[in-house]
Structure 1
Amino acid sequence: MDPFTAAVLVIGALALLGLPIGLSMISGSIVYLFVRGQDMGLVAERLLNSMFTGYVILAVPLFILAAEIMNMGTMTDRLLRFCNALVGRFRGGLAHVNIVQSIIFSGMSGSALADAAGSGRIIANMMTKDGRYSRSFAAALTASAAVIGPIIPPSIPMVLYALVSGASIGYLFLAGIIPGLLMGLMLMIVVVYMSRRRSFPVEEPVPLRELPGLTVRSFPALMMPVVLLGGIYSGVVTPTEAAAVAAAYALLISALLYRSVSLGTLYAGLVRGARSSIAIGMLIAGALVFNYVVTAENIPQTLRLYLADYNLTPLQFLLLVNIILLLLGAILEGTAILLIIVPVFLPTATALGIDPVHFGVIAVVNIMIGLVTPPYGLLIFVMQSITRAPLRSIFRDLMPFIVTLLAALAIITLFPDLVLWLPRQFGYSG
């Protein structure tokens, strides 16, 4: 049997049997190396040597830790009260608060799942209290809004894309700001329409005289994205160091200023963060080994030459990539797609003159939409476990938001200058 075919069959069989996909990829890659007669020690040494000069991957567990610290303290509650004071007074106010809090929290955690499980859990419970909104609508909106989290910096998926593409993390972070804000604005427009059609409730407005006090109490938490991004773009810290600064800042604010973190809750948060980091780390390890197999088989270049025969324009290629990633996102885990599938398309994108930063934002947006795409969107199941709403009802309420997110993806794809304008203001030459 062909070694690559054997590897793919082993990965598929083990994954179907329930083995984590990271371990499945490692096992399949070992089978490939064994059949090819390659020295596994030399391959391992080559992979490790390629990582000794880069510290990008260290940003992932640090951003996860920062999100855990935020969720264990009162930072989440303070920011939600601030968001409620801003937009809670309008019809469907809590629905607007849901989206605005996702935009604000996206500048802190870098993880859609962290946003949904932390602040998303709180706002979903607020929406369903006393039956003001249906559980399925609260779940659908919270899942859709959480998609914004990894688009606006910091972003764990963009860190992983930088790992496989070599693109600048700083410019990727900048490139995600306008698309993320666009997605949030479009979701709010849909909520305005649905609020009138379904007669959503109007919350009791927070008196304007209380807004300065709420702002002051929330100000240290609101400064976290400023500290994080300001450190990166001023050159004071690298993106990896900025992740460490974010975790330290969240701990200092929660423990010393807000006094909302005890040793017990800190230990529990560290354990949860370690478990999440290990799960992602195993997936990254498996993807790196399997990417070696894919490269050894020369699959990216073969795909590039194959697509060259069709004389695709850059736009046609991007539309094809969007369709493939959206379909895969409905059935596969997003990190695996980002680490395995996206690198296969990179040589073709480069050959067609597609900017790697623009391509990275498109890939991440596709993968995030996959988190809310039936039947296997992970955010759907997270919110279903929180709200206990029937999956069928959640799927129904998700449809308008998925269409909206797809429309935003189309705009991002068709207008690269919209994505690249901000990075160019900071010196990007792409």
Structure 2
Amino acid sequence: MELQSALTLFGTFGLLMALGVPVAFAIGIGAAVTFLAFMSFDQSMFIVAQQMASGLDSFTLLAIPFFILAGNIMNRGGIALRLIDFAKVLGGRLPGALAHCNVLANMMFGAISGSAVASAAAVGGVMAPLQKKEGYDPNFSAAVNITSCPTGLLIPPSTTFIVFSLITNGTSVAALFVAGYLPGILMGLGLMLVAGVMAKARGYPVAAKPSWTEIRRKALDAVLPLGLIVIVMGGIVSGVFTATEASAAAVVYTLFLALVWYREISVKDLPAIILEATITTSIVLLMIGCSIAMSKAMAFADIPYTISDILLSLSENPLVLLLIINLLLLVVGTFMDMTPALLIFTPIFLPVVTGLGMDPVHFGVMMTLNLCIGICSPPVGSALFIGCSVGKTTIAGVLRPMLPFYAVLIVLLMVITYVPDISLTLPRLFLGYGS
């Protein structure tokens, strides 16, 4: 029965994906067909509906619409330009100054917006014309923007970690948030190193030395936007509020900045912003609900345990097994977006890694970084398409300059996989995690 269930589930899902059916519907229909193979229609529909409803009945999930709304307000509130100006000051004296500015701006704006695609569009849209004016190759500029925009998925607040917490039945969101800092910063620094070497080899210019007055002015302009991270993470780490309450505080703070302080938007703009956030939220939550039903179908077919047995039969060496899991996820990431990949494959691999003694927080960081590489990769990487669009270039043209950036990301993935302290030191230090 288990083999038949697995073939039905993945066969239906694969067929629907090949036919171009949206991922959420392919996941939900695949789960329903699996139950239909062994139960009546009424029983199957009841189980799927029950799993979707109960899976979305979570206080933690309330953080997702709030963070999405906060990100949309920031996107429309003139925040990107202020962070880009500050990033120019930070990276201006390095070889390929605008490339470093792009990475730093993506790290800051991505952390605030929580969206790689929004970061690629907002930061890339501003940086691409500036870089072209300075003589940068558009393919190089796009490669820098594409590979650096996912840093905000590691640097909190991150909706990816909230979804991972839900799937794993309560892994601490606060611990995941704090654990993402060092890997996210290392990711940005690694990309800056590659960009600097390539920029120096190509002879790209260094920016003029800014005056102290300019430095002070641009730093002050960036203080309030960056204050969102301080409020959210400071409140969570100090125990003042939960991640969900922090998301609501983020909306209030961003509204104050955009409406009152910067006055970049008006009250009449809010309905469109809220509608956009609602549409995005509904897509994410539908995918989560369908994926929870699929997880039930996979448990019904004993798929996680079957795959666990297969992996353990290949090797008993934890180093080898983690390498195999990373390779599988890298392949998955090239044809599946981050959220469905996270929802489908976390229940499959989590029993394996926890059986090896791997901490769930460490695994969450490793898996997120792995899938960050996927959204930069063809054929379906969302960041790749957006980055090429705003950079006025093609996927074929941008792939070659992206190879060195891919290399440093793979090296960083291996380091984070095999050195758990990079992910776990800060949660232990600030939250007493695991003690």
* Identity value in percent: 35
CA contact (8 A) 1:106 1:154 kept: no
Select which of 187, 190, 194 maps to 2:194: 190
Deviation of 1:157 (Å): 1.3
Deviations 1:240-274 (A, max 9, x none): 11112112211111111111112343333222222
Determine the structure 2 residue equivalent to 1:29.
31
The Cα RMSD (Å) is: 1.8
Between the aligned partners of 1:49 and 1:193, the Cα distance in structure 2 is: 51
The change in CA–CA distance for 1:353 and 1:3 in structure 2 (over 3 A counts) is closer
Matched with 2:136 is 133
Q: Which residue of 2 aligns with 1:289?
A: 293
Q: CA deviation at 1:368?
A: 0.4
8 Å CA contact retained: 2:70, 2:250: yes
Secondary structure of the equivalent of 1:58? helix
Structure 1 residue 310: deviation in Å?
3.8
Structure 1 partner of 2:272: 268
Q: Which digits, 9 at most, give the CA deviation of each residue in 1:261-288, with x for residues without a partner? A: 1234333322222222222222112211
1:6-405 to structure 2, matched below 5 A, reads 6-37=8-39, 39=43, 40-45=45-50, 48-49=53-54, 51-52=56-57, 54-128=58-132, 130=133, 132-165=135-168, 166-405=170-409
Q: CA 1:408/1:168 → structure 2, altered by over 3 Å: closer, same or farther?
A: same
Counterpart contact for 2:51–2:296, Cα < 8 Å: no
**Helix, strand or coil at the partner of 2:393:** coil
The structural deviation recorded for 1:403 is 0.6
Name the aligned partner's letter for residue 397 of structure 1: P
Q: Using the TM superposition, give the Cα deviation of residue 192 of structure 1 relative to its aligned residue in structure 2, in angstroms.
A: 1.8
Q: Aligned partners of 1:290, 1:375: CA distance in 2, in Å?
A: 24
Letter of the structure 2 residue corresponding to residue 92 of structure 1: G
One-letter amino acid matched to 1:143? I
Equivalent position amino acid for 1:158 in 2: F
1:161 alignment partner AA: F
Quote the Cα distance in structure 2 between the aligned partners of 1:193 and 1:247: 39
> Once the 2 structures are TM-superposed, how far is the Cα of residue 298 of structure 1 from its aligned partner?
1.3
Deviates more, 1:95-104 or 1:116-125: 116-125
* Structure-2 separation of matches of 1:363 and 1:49: 25
Q: Are the aligned partners of 2:32 and 2:48 in contact in 1 as well (CA < 8 Å)?
A: no
Checking the alignment, whether the CA contact within 8 Å between 1:172 and 1:361 is kept in structure 2 is yes
CA drift at 1:344: 0.3
CA distance in 2, matches of 1:289, 1:93: 48
Q: What is the rounded CA distance, in whole Å, between the counterparts of 2:138 and 2:271 in structure 1?
A: 32
Give the unaligned 5+ runs of structure 2: none
- For residues 107-126 of structure 1, the C-alpha deviation after alignment (integer angstroms, 9 at most, x for no partner) is 31222112112223222332
Amino acid at match of 1:232: I
Whether the aligned pair in 2 keeps the contact of 1:72 and 1:265 (CA below 8 Å) is no
Matches of 2:241 and 2:50 in 1, distance apart? 30
State the TM-score, normalized to the length of structure 1. Answer: 0.95
- Give the secondary-structure state (helix, strand or coil) at the position aligned to 1:342: helix
Question: CA–CA distance in 2 between the matches of 1:287 and 1:423?
Answer: 29
Contact 2:31–2:48 (Cα < 8 Å) also in 1: no
Gap runs ≥5 in structure 1: none
**Structure 1 Cα separation of the partners of residues 418 and 8 of structure 2:** 39
Output the CA distance in 1 between the equivalents of 2:256 and 2:271.
15
Which secondary structure does the structure 1 equivalent of 2:186 belong to? helix
Q: 1:138, CA displacement in angstroms?
A: 1.3
Relative to 1, partners in 2 of residues 1:37 and 1:258: Cα closer, same or farther, differing over 3 Å?
Answer: same
CA distance in 2, matches of 1:139, 1:360: 28
- Report if aligned partners of 1:107, 1:152 keep a CA contact under 8 Å in 2: yes
Structure 1 residue 70 displacement after superposition = 0.8
Query: Would the alpha carbon gap of residues 49 and 173 (structure 1) be closer, same or farther in structure 2, given more than 3 Å must change?
Result: same
- Residue 429 (str. 1) matches residue 415 (str. 2): no
Contact map agreement 1:358 1:420 (CA 8 A) in 2: yes
The Cα of 1:312 is off from its aligned counterpart by 2.0
* Contact 1:83 1:100 (8 Å CA) reproduced: yes
State the distance in 2 between where 1:3 and 1:82 align: 54
**Which sits farther off after the overlay, 114-123 or 365-374?**
114-123
Q: Across the two proteins, how many residue pairs are aligned to each other?
A: 428
The one-letter amino acid paired with 2:160 is P
Give me the whole-angstrom Cα distance separating, in 1, the residues matched to 2:51 and 2:399. 45
Per-residue deviation, 1:340 = 0.3
Distance 1:268 1:388 in 2: 27
Task: Check the 8 A contact 1:88/1:205 in 2, yes or no.
Answer: yes
- CA gap of 1:309–1:13, structure 2 versus 1, over 3 A, is closer
Q: CA deviation at 1:27?
A: 1.4
What are the Cα deviations for residues 326-367 of structure 1, in whole angstroms up to 9, with x where unaligned?
011111122111000121011111111111111111000000
Equivalent residue of 1:270, what SS? Answer: helix
How many angstroms apart in 1 are the aligned matches of 2:351 and 2:209? 53
Residues 149-188 of structure 1: CA deviation (Å, up to 9, x unaligned): 1011111211111111131111011111111111111111
